[in-house]
Structure 1
Amino acid sequence: MTALFGATFLELCGLFMYGPLLLFTLKERGLSTSTIGLFSAAQWLGMVLATPFTALWVRRLGARRALLTSAAVPFVAFTLMNLSEQIAVWAVLYLLAGMAGALRWIVAESMVSELAPAERRGRIIGLFSTMVGLTFVVGPALLAALTTAGIAPQWIRWSATALIGLALFLSWRVPTLHSHQQHHGERIGLLGILDAVRAAPVVMVAGLVGGFFEAGLASVLPLYGLAIGLGAAAAALLVSVSGIGSSLMMVPIGVLVDRWGPARVWRVCAVVNLLATLLLPWVGQLGALAWVIALLWGAAGGGLYTVAMVDIGSRHRGVALVSATSVLVMSYTFGGMMAPALGGAALQWSPQWGFPALLVTWAAVGTWVLFRPSPARPPRHPARSATSD
């Protein structure tokens, strides 16, 4: 477990160093902002393309070898990018790194869920979520520190690549899970994802709402801050406040799941998220509310995702767990994509009422679904329990 945490931390820190620096490099080469945006989207495109087929790769390789592959591909890709000057080559390699990123994301979360003892699964997954959140701070902070120290960009890229190489080394110490290599009749690929959705549609709803309010609104909060009269620096800090809420609350939420079970904590997170959103129309009269709302969005949105991880970890093993995690990742990503797309349009239409109306509707529908009595249906081919060595 320690090796899995350490490897994931190092790889993500390296990625969050390399990604922004790469975009700065493209800007210095004279590329337009729109072109740079498309280049950055290549990584996300890779993740979208790979996510539905993660279970297939795990079935063929086993969880440990899939994890090693997900660490080796970005290490090789970024090494080749460091040795090349061709932007087209960079784009292809960045796409491949994104595909490996989806594999890493899903396999790492699945293995944490499976390796964690049942009575402490919530707090361990909460700790893992907190660790992932810290990489969003540590990676860019390392980049800023090295840049301030006058280190040349090419050496910073090699430093980020070295962190990913260390992650690959640590990944060798992660144990093999036999449950991922055994076949119990469960379907994989798109059919396996469909089975996972049918077994627990509430997981998809939790991912949609969590992704919308935790990840997606991060790109809209600065615009909202400007719309309500905050300065540029203060508006940007709303994102940091949301991140603080997400990082600090995941372990307490995990502890509550261990004590109360997923259903009650899901509902608490959904209600907190809805109540925070209902405060939006009064931000104009009391500006400090914006900070409280951002903090609660980060905590509740991240909590919905964390509780979903615990829930599927308690109900699935092996490849079925990978498929269920894929559903969660896909729904979270979709929710994160919808927030800036819809939120930007609502802000342009009416910051005071249109934007709150959109968010209240999204939060209310999610809360209604999470409160409905909808017992999970068994998957089409339930996975039997298996042990790890």
Structure 2
Amino acid sequence: MKKTRSHRYVFVTLLLVVAIAGMSQGLTLPLLSVLLEKSGVSTVANGVNAAALYIGILLVSPLMEIPLRKFGYRTTILLGLTLVSASSLLLPVFRGFAIWFVLRLLLGIGDMALHYSAQLWVNAIAPVERRGRYLSIYGFAYSAGFSFGPLGMLLVDYGIWAPFLAISVFYAAAFLMLIPLKNAYPETVEQTESRNNRYLDVLRLSWLALIPPFLYGYMESSLNVNFPVYAVRSGLSLDWVSILLPSFVVGSLVLQMPLGRWSDRAGRKKVMVLCAAVGAGCFLLLPLVSSQVWAMMILLALAGAFVGSFYTLGLAFAADILAPGLISTAGAIASIMFGIANLVAPSVNGYFLGTSMPGLMFYVLGGMLALFVALSFAFRRGGPQKIRTEEKVPHAM
């Protein structure tokens, strides 16, 4: 009973911390893109600058298991939060394309350390039969913070320092919540699981589960980096952008937890296929209503409701398939997939925005989700641990 209470306290603290991290990312991504756009930076260069965040994520993703196993969950999260806080507060101090590229690179490294450790800590304390619920609540907390982040752009009227000073108050709160936690460490890799081939084992056994992090990363980057530019060029004001942008995330809040609970009962794969199909339809329709703000808002909210939890559903699916010692490896690969997607999307979409058909960015996104649906029919379960959720585990509180 005491262990259960301890896990709940850790879980609640992680939810609050990840919500603050989401708020920070939700603010900095669109704000810096709009500021660079107004300063005359090209769409391709703007996308490259935004990609620095994900270059940082990609650079450290293969290495994150090392500090996590050596220092533990809490210490790694604190290190990541320190880097995120310092980099964010330096953004208004040193303004310019090159320095923002470096600071966004450091933001990506800190963000990777924070989220990688927090996700795996949540996965470690979650009961197997409620893994989907726990990870969906975690995703809900991040999405809630992320949805509030863009509203900080409204503070720019009081000076560029205003939104960053506001977010610094939340950083301080995150530190105060983390410090009292008792540190914990991930499970060790079993002797039968070779250190040299476990990455290949994870890819072979759970390749379908590792596609959703890529798709989620591509969606996140497309909407938060490129969509503000797309909207401004379509004649929308910055105020409208700050309202439209969170609609995807707010939509994800509606179904985040119900989808997690449903996936515990019906199976992760079935839920992800349905969500991908609905999301594909929404993104394919989006360019057709670019002149109708309310229609755009509805489609973004609907897409968010169904594919906004793709990352956590994919991670839960991988955890269902794999032995416990391989879950941290799956988390690292998922982060690499997420980083690659975020690295590719801004530049690709920046090119589309420079053509006569900027709506291509949404057609490509919809097409990738449709492709995931097709690939799901080729996936067959296997490996050291059968998927318990596919056996329809009864829901328990």
Q: What residue in structure 1 maps to residue 173 of structure 2?
A: 166
Matches within 5 A, 1:23-172: 33=41, 40-77=50-87, 81=90, 92=102, 94-142=104-152, 144-145=154-155, 150=158, 157-172=164-179
Which whole-Å CA distance do the structure 2 matches of 1:159 and 1:292 have between them?
29
Q: Deviations over 1:83-140 (max 9, x none)?
A: 9769777765553342121111111111112212223322222222121112223334
Aligned-residue offset at 1:225: 6.1
Residues 202-221 of structure 1 aligned to structure 2 (within 5 Å): 202-221=208-227
Deviation at 1:267, TM superposition (A): 1.7
Aligned counterpart in structure 1 of residue 236 of structure 2, from 232, 243, 247 = 232
User: Match of 2:263?
Assistant: 257
* Partners of 1:220 and 1:340 within 8 A in 2: yes
Q: Distance in 2 between matches of 1:365 and 1:194?
A: 23
- Structure 1 unpaired stretches of 5+: 380-389
Match in the other structure for 1:267: 273
Q: From the superposition, tell whether residues 359 and 32 of structure 1 become closer, same or farther in structure 2 (CA, over 3 Å).
A: closer
Distance 1:59 1:191, change over 3 A: farther
Letter in 2 for 1:247: L
Cα RMSD for the two superposed structures: 4.1
* Identity across the alignment (%): 21
Structure 1 77/366 Cα, relative in aligned 2: closer, same or farther at 3 Å?
Answer: closer
Residue pair 1:214, 1:246 contacting (<8 A) in 2 also: no
What TM-score, normalized by structure 1, do the two folds share?
0.76
Alignment-derived partner of residue 6 in structure 2: none
Residue number among 4, 12, 16 corresponding to 1:2 in the alignment: 12
Change (3 A) 1:173 1:193: farther
Question: What is the 5 A alignment of 1:283-298?
Answer: 290-298=296-304
Amino acid at match of 2:326: A
> In 2, are the aligned partners of 1:222 and 1:238 still within 8 Å (CA)?
no
1:341/1:44 Cα in 2 relative to 1: closer, same or farther (>3 Å)? closer
Structure 2 counterpart of 1:53, one-letter code? L
Q: Distance in 1 between matches of 2:347 and 2:49?
A: 19
Residues 55 and 339 of structure 2 are in contact (CA less than 8 Å); yes or no, is this contact kept in structure 1? no
C-alpha change, 1:302 and 1:68, in structure 2 (3 Å) is same
- Residues 56-84 of structure 1 deviation map (CA, whole Å, 9 limit, x = unaligned): 221222223222222233345557x4997
Amino acid paired to 1:102: M
Normalising to structure 2: TM-score of the pair? 0.74
Offset at residue 38 of structure 1 (A): 5.6
d(CA) in 2 for partners of 1:86, 1:349: 31
Give the counterpart letter for 1:115 in structure 2: I
Matches within 5 A, 1:327-346: 327-343=333-349, 345=351
Q: 2:184 aligns with which of 152, 155, 177?
A: 177
Q: Where does residue 388 of structure 2 map in the other structure?
A: none
Residues 372, 133 of structure 1: alpha-carbon distance in 2 compared, 3 angstrom cutoff? same
CA distance in 1 between partners of 2:378 and 2:364 (Å) = 22
**Alpha carbons of 1:314 and 1:111: their partners in 2 closer, same or farther (altered >3 Å)?**
farther
| Structure 2 unaligned spans of 5+ | 1-10, 386-397
Shift of 1:369: 0.8
C-alpha separation in 2, matches of 1:276 and 1:21: 25
SS of residue paired to 2:180: coil
Instruction: Number of aligned residue pairs: give it.
Output: 368
Partner of 1:362: 368
What residue identity is the alignment partner of 2:143?
G
Change (3 A) 1:47 1:124: same
- The code of the aligned residue for 1:73 comes to L
Judge which range, 31-40 or 367-376, deviates more.
31-40
Q: Cα–Cα, structure 1 residues 291 and 65, in superposed 2: closer, same or farther, change >3 Å?
A: closer
Report deviation, 1:303. Answer: 3.1
Tell me by how many angstroms 1:259 deviates: 1.7
Which whole-Å CA distance do the structure 2 matches of 1:162 and 1:123 have between them?
30
Residue 262 of structure 1 and its aligned partner are, at CA, apart by 0.7
